[in-house]
Amino acid sequence: MRADRLVAVLLLMQARGRVTAAEVATELEVSVATARRDLEALSTAGIPVYPQPGRGGGWSLLGGARTDLTGLSAPEARALFALLGPAASPGSAPEVRSALRKLTRALPAVFREEAAAAAGSVVVDAAAWGARDDDRPPLVELLQGAVVARRRVRLHYAGRTREPTERLVDPWGLVDKDGRWYLVAGTDAGQRTFRVDRVLDAEVTGLAAARPEGFALERAWERVVDEVEARRGRLTATLVADARSVPVLRAQFGRHCDAGPPGPDGRCEVRVGAPTALDVARTLAGWGAAVAVLGPPEVRAELARIGAELASAHR
C-alpha cells in the first residue's frame, strides 16, 4: 500500500540524508519509476524533499539526516498526514495505521492535533455510485484545508434539480467514493452531504466551524451510504468464480461482494450487489465464462441479452 511506502521513504531519507530513486527502489523492493513517483508525491504535498541533479545527487530532506520529525513545520506536517491519512483508514492494513501512529508521536506536541485532523479529513470508499469520475475537483484542497483548520465555508452549490444556492456550512470531512468526491458538513438543518463537483465556488471564512464531540468521519459516511442505498434498493446476485478472481470482483463491487470458502476445485460461491440487474450484468459481462451466474433470473436474462448484442455486433 502506498501509505506505508511513503512513510518508509521519509524515514529512509531521515536516516541517510540523501537517497537516489534507485536506492529507494532497492530498499523497498519496488520499481525505480514507483520510487520516483513516491519521492515526487512527498515533494508535491509540501514535505521538504528536494531533488539534487548531477553526480552525487539524489533526493534530500531539507536540513539533512534527522532521527525524528521535529524539523517539520506545521504546514509540512499537515501536508504529510493529509497525504497519508486516506490510505491509513480503518479498513487498511494494521501496519499502515501503526506507522501513522508512530509518525504522530514523533511530531512536536504542538503539531499533533493538527496532523491528526489532517489524517482524518478524508475517507476513501471504493464502491462506486454510478459512473466513475477520474477528474479530481479543484476545490478538494481548499475544502480539506477548511476541514483541518475548522473554518466555516460559504458554498455556492448547484443541486441536481434546483437553482444554485448559497450555503454556510461547517466542513467535517471529505469522501473519495471511487473518484467522485463528497463533502460531509454540518448545516442549520443538520448533517448534509454535498457533491464537490456541484460546488460552483467556495470561500473559507474566518468563522470557527462547529463539530459534534466524538465525530468520526468513517462512521458518519457509513450512515450516509446506508441511507442512500436503502432508498435506491439493491439487487443481490449469486455466482460461482475461481477464488483467484475474488479480489478483482471485490474491487469492482466494493463492500457489496461477499465470497464463501473455496471448494476442492478452487472455485467459490460469491454474492455481489448493485442497484439493478442491468448494473450487475454490465459489470459481470466482461468476465465471459469465467463466472457462472446462478441467479436471480433477471441477471441471467440481462447477461444473455448483452451477449447476443455483442455477438450480433461483432459477428
Question: Is residue 79 scored above 50 in pLDDT?
Answer: yes
- Separation CA 304–CA 281 (nearest Å): 9
Question: Is residue 278 scored above 80 in pLDDT?
Answer: yes
Question: Is residue 77 scored above 60 in pLDDT?
Answer: no
Indicate the residue type of 261. Answer: P
* Residue range 104-129, pLDDT digits in tens: 555 555 445 555 555 556 666 666 66
Lowest mean pLDDT among 71-80, 134-143, 164-173, 224-233: 71-80
* Residue range 224-247, pLDDT digits in tens: 888 877 766 578 999 999 999 998
The two beta strands, 122-125 and 165-177, are parallel
- Separation CA 222–CA 230 (nearest Å): 12
- Separation CA 155–CA 141 (nearest Å): 14
Helix H or strand E encompassing 39: helix 32-44
- Separation CA 124–CA 146 (nearest Å): 18
CB atoms within 10 A of CB 71: 14
Cell of 50: 528536494
What is the per-residue pLDDT for 201?
Answer: 93
Query: Which residue has better confidence, 48 or 309?
Result: 309
Phi (first) and psi of residue 156, to 5 degrees: -105, 110
CA proximity to 136, closest of 86, 171, 193, 178: 178
Question: Is residue 303 scored above 60 in pLDDT?
Answer: yes
Lowest mean pLDDT among 140-149, 182-191, 206-215: 140-149
Burial of 94 (0-12, 13-18, 19+ CB in 10 A): exposed
Which domains are assigned to the chain? Answer: 2-119 (1.10.10), 125-215 (2.30.30), 233-314 (3.30.70)
pTM for the whole thing?
A: 0.53
Query: Which residue has better confidence, 38 or 167?
Result: 167
Query: Which residue has better confidence, 309 or 255?
Result: 309
Q: What is the CA radius of gyration of the chain?
A: 23
